[in-house]
């Protein structure tokens, strides 16, 4: 992601996981947008990626994760297409699922917008990948 902060996790000095986080400005509020969580094959299924995501999320919540946000405490949103990670996020009561796109989108709408702005007539989307979105609310934000 352009302008993202990248976090790398190791286990006993061995690369295990990485995550990109950028800020998502929505009016006066700012959220941390985490994506591209990648866990090395030898660590997949051990819960390392989920724990790493939650540690970076905790840093965002404390306000000590991203110098560009100048100590601002932010909540975290996260999108993934990994079925087991989606299940883990749904099981964790601190995370709430916000969205689910279970099939690809049509490129024509984005291509028209890009062309109208003077860009090349190429669009994005259209892939056949299920993407699910989550937001961290913590214990205070969970309503049962």
Question: pLDDT (tens digit, 9 = 90+) per residue, 36-63?
Answer: 899 999 999 888 999 999 998 888 888 7
Q: What's the pLDDT score for residue 121?
A: 64
Are 97 and 133 in contact by the 8 Å Cβ rule? The answer is yes
- Band (129; pLDDT cuts 50, 70, 90): low
Report DSSP state, residue 104: P
For the segment 86-91, the average pLDDT, to the nearest whole number, is: 92
Arithmetic mean of pLDDT, 19-42: 82
How crowded is the C-beta side of 78, counted as CA atoms within 13 Å?
33
Asked if 85 contacts 49 with a C-beta cutoff of 8 angstroms, the reply is yes
Q: Which residues contact 50 (CB under 8 A, 6 or more apart)?
A: 85, 88, 89
Q: Vertex 53, ends 142 and 33: CA angle to 5°?
A: 75
Query: Considering the chain, what percentage of its residues have pLDDT values greater than 70?
Result: 78
| Cα gap 77→137, rounded to integer Å | 10
pLDDT at 10 over 50: yes
Q: Give the single-character DSSP code of 65.
A: S
Cα–chain center distance at 1:
11
- What local confidence, expressed as pLDDT, does residue 54 receive? 92
State how far Cα 51 lies from the chain centre.
14
Q: Alpha-carbon distance 126 to 104, whole Å?
A: 5
Structural domains in the chain, sorted by start: 5-141 (3.40.630.30)
Structure tokens at 18: 């990485």
- Identify the pLDDT of residue 26: 66
pLDDT for residue 141: 47
């Amino acid at each position: 992601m352009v302008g993202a902060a990248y976090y790398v996790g190791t286990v006993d000095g061995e690369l295990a996981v990485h995550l990109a986080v950028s800020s998502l400005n929505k009016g006066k509020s700012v959220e941390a947008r985490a994506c591209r969580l990648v866990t090395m094959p030898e660590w997949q299924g051990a819960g390392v990626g989920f724990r790493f995501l939650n540690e970076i999320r905790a840093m965002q919540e404390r306000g000590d994760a991203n110098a560009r946000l100048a100590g601002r405490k932010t909540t975290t949103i996260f999108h993934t297409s990994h079925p087991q990670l989606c299940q883990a996020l749904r099981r964790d009561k601190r995370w709430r699922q916000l969205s689910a796109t279970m099939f690809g989108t049509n490129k024509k709408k984005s291509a028209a917008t890009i062309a109208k702005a003077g860009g090349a007539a190429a669009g994005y989307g259209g892939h056949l990948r299920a993407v699910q979105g989550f937001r961290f609310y913590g214990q205070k934000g969970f309503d049962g």
